[in-house]
Amino acid sequence: MSAAALSAASAASGLLSAPAAVTAASPVIPDYGDASQCVQNNGLFCGDWFVQQWPVIFAPALLSHIMMTLIAVVIGFIIAFAAALYAHRMQWFAGPFGAVSAFLYTLPPLALFQLLVPITGLTLLTVEIALVAFTLMILFRATIAGLNNVSPDVRRAGVGMGLTRGQILRRIELPLAIPSIISGLRIATVLTVSIATIAAFVIDTGLGSPILKAISSPFNTQFIGAGALAVLLAFAFDGVLALLGRLLSPWTKARA
Amino acid sequence: MREFSRRALLRSGALATASLALAGCAGQDKPGPSDAITVGSKGFAESWITGELYAQALRALGLQVTLKTNVGSSEIIDQALTSGQIDLYPEYTGVIVMSLAGREELLATGAETYQVAKEFEASRGVTLLEATPFENKNAIAVTKAFADEHGLKTIDDLRGIGDFVYSTYPDNVSGGQGYEAIVREYRLPNMKLKTLSIGLNYQAIERGEIQAADVFTTDPQLLRSDLVVLEDTLNLFGFQNVAPAIRSDVLERHGSEVSDVLNRISELLTLEAIQTMNAASAVNRLDPSQVAKMFLDANDLL
């Protein structure tokens, strides 16, 4: 095609004509190379591509997923634990807090994320508020149950030893509630790992992001890679918490 | 003693996690200095790549840039722009005219479409910088064999060649650029419809299940297949060049260095350039950030 024909063609197709002073730019187009056969044919799992893209796609996604989960569980635990201690002393409080946290727990996660967007925007804050909301019921109930299940005899023995109410809580009730609290934390953490994948609808973060981005142009390795990492992460958190529970309540080992 | 160590463990564990969590919070979303810029992109690969091009080139100027990828559709990202959640993003001129400004009538040229889009954005405190030479819009493609057989060059040529099947995606049947509009405007009663999800039409046309397909002009699959795009003589599909939409107050704060580099990127984005980058993303499965980095590197923008 001659230059004249070319310019005629571009004029005919109604493209933006560049100002007369500027000649049309010709970009340097890099060679992106060829993908492996597995990648080109969308094989079930392309290990070579996964390893190659680990530092670019998967490691940042995994790291942000871990941070997202930790922040939500820690803040959720602080709120639920404080509420449980208060409810333990003020029985009337357990009903309303339990009801509100149960209501939050029943909301569809995606709907809650979208409801918050107009208020707190497309930010990490939006994501964390929603994630914390989902942890409250489990953590509150686990803590309350642990505290209330301490046998009255043990409590009376404490009173007999001359312990104050605060001392009974700290030295008797809380230690005995540890197994229950830990089991609540394990459920809440695994739940948060899975719900946090939906956060990608709000901000481009966590393991949900590579999954969401591969939907419009399906690529198995990206789905399976990110999905498997989420499952492994849930297992890892669960294992670490189980171990922590063992360390904090050595007396349960004999029974376990 | 055991009691003590357990409590110490509890306390240090709680402290460690709390400080971790706080550190995580502190590292996010902190309002940066006034030279910070937030770039957004829409919900598909071409937009992710363009957003990366903008963000990385602005970073190379020494600005602090946050990139919000995959913000959402035109309406959502436009709202993010006007409400200040992002400062700029790549938008298609025809989309601004049709979806955001809500103009119904067809415009005659790409330049006119750009002008109308620019004026509309300016009325809301948004500056539309220079547009790309490439367009990404709907088009009708047929196989080369089918085109040769019937001597097809334009969509008009499809009139009177006997019944044939055209495919588009399910939500593009009514609407201004949909199947019904094409049949009406080009008077093609012989064009029958088959709806297919985006991405399935290439296989279908290669297998001969359909004879004509609704395609996007920058789709890398179009480059790799043996298809011919028919000329849209009525400009039914409008004009869809890409231009950076940036809030005017942000532009004023930064002066010309920002607009210069963004205009330079637009200028480099020819059809071949964007098709190659789309292919690097869709076929080679490189991350948009890698695709953009290599392109900016090759063109001395980093």
Reported as a single tens digit per residue, the pLDDT across A177-189 is 999 999 999 999 9
Backbone angles phi, psi at B106, to 5 degrees: -75, 145
By percentage, how much of chain B surpasses pLDDT 90? Answer: 75
Beta carbons of B295 and A30 less than 8 Å apart: yes
**pLDDT at residue B116, as a whole number:** 97
Per residue in B165-195, pLDDT tens?
999 988 889 877 899 999 999 999 999 999 9
Residues of A in contact with B19 (CB under 8 A): none
Cβ-based neighbour number of residue A248 at 10 Å: 18
**pLDDT at residue A217, as a whole number:** 82
Question: Alpha-carbon distance A67 to A136, whole Å?
Answer: 18
- CA-nearest residue to A248 within chain B is B6
B268 to chain A, closest Cα gap in Å: 5
Instruction: State whether residue B265 sits within 8 Å of chain A by CB.
Output: no
Per residue in B252-262, pLDDT tens?
999 899 999 99
Give the Cα-Cα-Cα angle B202, B208, B209 (nearest 5 degrees): 85
Q: How confident is the model at residue A24 (pLDDT cuts 50, 70, 90)?
A: low
**pLDDT at residue B198, as a whole number:** 75
Nearest to B287 among A56, A123, A171 (CB): A56
Per residue in B21-59, pLDDT tens?
445 444 444 444 567 999 999 999 999 999 999 999 999
Report, as an integer, the average pLDDT of B115-122: 98
**pLDDT at residue A200, as a whole number:** 95
Nearest to A70 among B17, B198, B299 (CB): B17
CA A215 to mean position of chain CA atoms: 20
CB pairs under 8 A between A and B: 125
Alpha helices in chain A (DSSP H): 3-12, 37-40, 47-53, 59-89, 94-106, 109-120, 124-148, 152-160, 165-168, 174-195, 208-213, 220-248
Q: How confident is the model at residue B12 (pLDDT cuts 50, 70, 90)?
A: low
Tell me which DSSP letter residue A14 carries. T
pLDDT at B18 over 60: no
Instruction: State whether residue A185 sits within 8 Å of chain B by CB.
Output: no
Q: What is the C-alpha end-to-end distance of chain B, expressed in Å? A: 61
Q: Is B42 left (phi over 0), alpha (psi -120 to 50) or beta?
A: beta
Alpha helices in chain B (DSSP H): 2-26, 45-60, 74-82, 93-95, 110-122, 144-150, 179-186, 201-206, 220-224, 248-254, 256-268, 271-282, 288-298
Question: Alpha-carbon distance A101 to A82, whole Å?
Answer: 14
Report, as an integer, the average pLDDT of A139-147: 97
Report, as an integer, the average pLDDT of B208-228: 90
**pLDDT at residue B17, as a whole number:** 52
**pLDDT at residue B7, as a whole number:** 55
Question: Alpha-carbon distance B137 to B84, whole Å?
Answer: 28
Per residue in A204-230, pLDDT tens?
999 999 999 988 788 999 999 999 999
Which residues in chain A (202-231) have CB-CB distances under 8 A to chain B? 203-204, 209, 212-213, 216-217, 219, 221-222
Beta carbons of A14 and B48 less than 8 Å apart: no
Q: How many CA atoms lie within 13 A of B243 on its CB side?
A: 28
pTM for the complete prediction?
0.84
Instruction: State whether residue B301 sits within 8 Å of chain A by CB.
Output: no
Q: List the structure tokens of A215.
A: 């939907």
Per residue in A3-19, pLDDT tens?
444 444 444 444 444 44
